[in-house]
C-alpha cells in the first residue's frame, strides 16, 4: 500500500523550488553599473584598480601565449580570454597562505599566487623545472586529468583543518568537469567533514565542443551542491565584483569552520578549448560569440572604474606595456633554461636503483648527451 505522504509528493514542484533558489548573483551589469546596492564590497579604490590591472595583464598574457604557441615556443596551452573575472577576481579574494589546486586553464591564478611566469611557460613545454614550485608558493601544478583536482582539494582542505590553520583550499574546473565522478566525490567528502574548501566551476558553456545543456539536465551546476549539503551559488562569471564577493564570503565561512562552498561562475571562453587543434567555429556561431562579447568582463569593469574616475586609457596602456615587458623577460628566461634531457626524465621518474633495462638506457643516453 502506498502511503499518503508518498502520494502527495510532487517531484516537479520540488525541483522547481530548488532551482528557484539559484537566481544568478550579480553586482555589476553589462554597462558597468551597480545593480545590487545591498552588498558591501569592502574594496578600496586602490584595490579596485589593482584588480583591473591584473585582469588586463591576464588578457595580454593570453594573447601573447597564443602567439608563442603558434610560433612553437610554448607547448600545451588553454586560452583564458573571457574568463578574467572568473579567474582573477576569485583569486583576488584569497590570501597568500591559501592553497590553489588548478586545472589546466588556471595558470593565471597560480602566477598571481606567486608561481614565476617563466616557470609557467616551462610547465607548458613539459619541462620538469616548470613543476618545481617555490617553497613559499602554495599551489599545485595544473591538473590535466579533468576533475581529479576536486578529490585532491578535499584532502588538502582536510589537512588544513587537522592542523588548525585559518586557510582554505581552492580549486577550479569547467562545466565538463562537473560531470566527472571526482567532482561529486570531492564535494561530498569535503561537505561530510566540513573541510575548508572552495570549489569553483567555471561554466564557460562548452566542454571542448559539448554544450553545457548536454552535460546535465539540471538548470544550474550550482544546485549540485545541495546533494553534498554545502552552500552553493551561481554567479555572473563576467562580473568581477560578484565573483570577488562570492569567493570572499565562501572563504569567510570556510575559516569560521562552516565547511566548503560551491561556486558556479557563468562565463565564456572566446578562443578554442586548447591550441591543440580545436576549432570553435564548428560548434559555436558568430552570433553566440557576439552576444557574450557584449558581456566582456574587462569592458564592463573599465566602464565602472572610469565612471568613478579611477581608470583611463593612459593607465590601461601603461599596464599593457608593462605586461608585454614582463612576458618578454619571462619567455627569455624560459628559453635560457637548459633543455630537458632524456636522462633528466629517467632520473626524475625513478627513485633509487634503476631496473636493468633503464640502467642500460640511462647509460646510452648519458654517452649521447656528453658528445
Q: Which residues are catalytic?
A: 269, 273, 283
Sheet with 261-266: list strands edge to edge.
99-101, 169-174, 197-203, 261-266, 232-236
Question: At residue 239, what are phi and psi to the nearest 5 degrees?
Answer: -110, 100
What value, to the nearest 5°, has the Cα angle with vertex 118 and ends 117 and 122? Answer: 115
Strand, helix or coil for residue 172: strand
Strand, helix or coil for residue 253: helix
DSSP H helices in 2-130: 4-8, 11-20, 45-70, 84, 90-92, 107-112, 117-125
- The span from the CA of 310 to the CA of 98, in Å, is 29
Whether 215 contacts 207, CB under 8 Å: yes
- The span from the CA of 30 to the CA of 301, in Å, is 9
Radius of gyration of the chain (CA): 22
In this structure, are strands 210-211 and 197-203 parallel, antiparallel, or unpaired? unpaired
| CA neighbor of 261 nearest in space, from 113, 147, 157 | 157
Grid cell digits, residue 318: 601603461
Whether 223 contacts 19, CB under 8 Å: yes
Amino acid at each position: 500500500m502506498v502511503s499518503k505522504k508518498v502520494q502527495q509528493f510532487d517531484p516537479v514542484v520540488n525541483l522547481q523550488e530548488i532551482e528557484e533558489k539559484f537566481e544568478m548573483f550579480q553586482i555589476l551589469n553589462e554597462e558597468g553599473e551597480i545593480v545590487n546596492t545591498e552588498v558591501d564590497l569592502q574594496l578600496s579604490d586602490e584595490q579596485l584598480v589593482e584588480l583591473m590591472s591584473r585582469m588586463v595583464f591576464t588578457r595580454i598574457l593570453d594573447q601573447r601565449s597564443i602567439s608563442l604557441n603558434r610560433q612553437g615556443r610554448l607547448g600545451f596551452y588553454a586560452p583564458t580570454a573571457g574568463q578574467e573575472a572568473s579567474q582573477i577576481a576569485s583569486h583576488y579574494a584569497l590570501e597568500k597562505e591559501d592553497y590553489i589546486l588548478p586545472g589546466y586553464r588556471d595558470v593565471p591564478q597560480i602566477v598571481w599566487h606567486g608561481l614565476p611566469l617563466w616557470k609557467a611557460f616551462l610547465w607548458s613545454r613539459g619541462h620538469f623545472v616548470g613543476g618545481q614550485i617555490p617553497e613559499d608558493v602554495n599551489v599545485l601544478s595544473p591538473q590535466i586529468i579533468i576533475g581529479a583536482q576536486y578529490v585532491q582539494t578535499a584532502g588538502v582542505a582536510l589537512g588544513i583543518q587537522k592542523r588548525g590553520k585559518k586557510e582554505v583550499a581552492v580549486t577550479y574546473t569547467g562545466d565538463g568537469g562537473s560531470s566527472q565522478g571526482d567532482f561529486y566525490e570531492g564535494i561530498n567528502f569535503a561537505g561530510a567533514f566540513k573541510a575548508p574548501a572552495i570549489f569553483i566551476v567555471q561554466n564557460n558553456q562548452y566542454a571542448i565542443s559539448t554544450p553545457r545543456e548536454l552535460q546535465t539536465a539540471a538548470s544550474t551546476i550550482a544546485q549540485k551542491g545541495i546533494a553534498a549539503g554545502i552552500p552553493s551559488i551561481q554567479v555572473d562569471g563576467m562580473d568581477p565584483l560578484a565573483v570577488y564577493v562570492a569567493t570572499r564570503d565562501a572563504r569567510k565561512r570556510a575559516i569560521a569552520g562552516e565547511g566548503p562552498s560551491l561556486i558556479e561562475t557563468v562565463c565564456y571562453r572566446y578562443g578554442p578549448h586548447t591550441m591543440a587543434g580545436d576549432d570553435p567555429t564548428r560548434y559555436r556561431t558568430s552570433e553566440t560569440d557576439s552576444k557574450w562579447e557584449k558581456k566582456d568582463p574587462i569592458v564592463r569593469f573599465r566602464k565602472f572604474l572610469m565612471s568613478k574616475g579611477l581608470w583611463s586609457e593612459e593607465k590601461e596602456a601603461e599596464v599593457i606595456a608593462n605586461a608585454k615587458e614582463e612576458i618578454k623577460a619571462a619567455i627569455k628566461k624560459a628559453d635560457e633554461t637548459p633543455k630537458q634531457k632524456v636522462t633528466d626524465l629517467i632520473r626524475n621518474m625513478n627513485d633509487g636503483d634503476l631496473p636493468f633495462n633503464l640502467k642500460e638506457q640511462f647509460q646510452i643516453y648519458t654517452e649521447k648527451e656528453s658528445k
